[in-house]
Structures are given as C-alpha cells and as structure tokens.
C-alpha cells in the first residue's frame, strides 16, 4: 500500500500521517454507521409507543438488544480475523 519511493523523507512522513488520519476517520464513520444500525434495529424491536420517558421494560429491552448486537458484531469480527490470519499463513 505504501509506494512512496520517489518521495522525500518529509513527504513520506506527511503521506504516512495522512493515511493514519484517513484510517481514523474511516473507523469513526464505521462506528457511527454501527450506532445508527443498532439504534434503528433496537428502537423498532423495543419501543412500542414513544413517550417523554422510557419505562423499565423498554429500557431493559434496549440495553439487552444493544449488548446482543455488540456481542454478535465482535464475534463475527473475531471470526473473520481468525479466518484472515489462517489464510495468511
């Protein structure tokens, strides 16, 4: 991915820093997308009629839904990482 052969040392440092910043912004965007996804899914699943406050049943449902969503995402991510690592060997 880094093909900076014709760059000066300062240009290489700038390019590397730019790549790092882009990666951070991509991670932020991915995190925001995940938040929007589980907000939509869990809202539809748990909230029957929105009001000024959440009742305890709705709050418990939302917490459980988000926790399951996060656990599932982590499990899939870890499994994918394992598959990639096995394929690299």
Could you tell me if residue 55 is inside a domain? Answer: yes
pLDDT recorded at residue 47: 93
Could you tell me if residue 71 is inside a domain? Answer: yes
Segments in the chain below pLDDT 50:
none
Range of the domain at 31: 9-88
Residue 38 CB neighbour total at 10 angstroms: 19
pLDDT recorded at residue 3: 67
Could you tell me if residue 60 is inside a domain? Answer: yes
Q: Give the CATH number of the domain where residue 68 resides.
A: 1.10.287.810
CA atoms of 52 and 8, how far apart (whole Å): 59
Could you tell me if residue 2 is inside a domain? Answer: no
Total of domains in the chain: 1
Whether the full predicted model's pTM is greater than 0.85, yes or no, is no
- Residues in contact with 89: Cβ distance below 8 Å, sequence separation at least 6, in sequence order: none
pLDDT recorded at residue 2: 56
- Residues in contact with 64: Cβ distance below 8 Å, sequence separation at least 6, in sequence order: none
CA atoms of 42 and 81, how far apart (whole Å): 26
User: Model confidence over 43-55: pLDDT tens digits?
Assistant: 999 999 888 898 9
User: In the numeric block, which tokens belong to residue 22?
Assistant: 């882009």
Could you tell me if residue 16 is inside a domain? Answer: yes
């Amino acid at each position: 991915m880094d093909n900076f052969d014709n760059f000066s040392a300062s240009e290489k440092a700038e390019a590397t820093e730019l790549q790092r910043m882009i990666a951070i912004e991509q991670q932020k965007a991915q995190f925001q997308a995940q938040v929007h996804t589980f907000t939509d899914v869990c809202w539809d699943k748990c909230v029957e009629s929105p009001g000024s406050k959440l009742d305890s049943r709705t709050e418990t449902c939302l917490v459980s839904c988000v926790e399951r969503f996060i656990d599932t995402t982590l499990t899939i991510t870890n499994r994918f990482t394992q598959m990639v690592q096995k394929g690299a060997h």
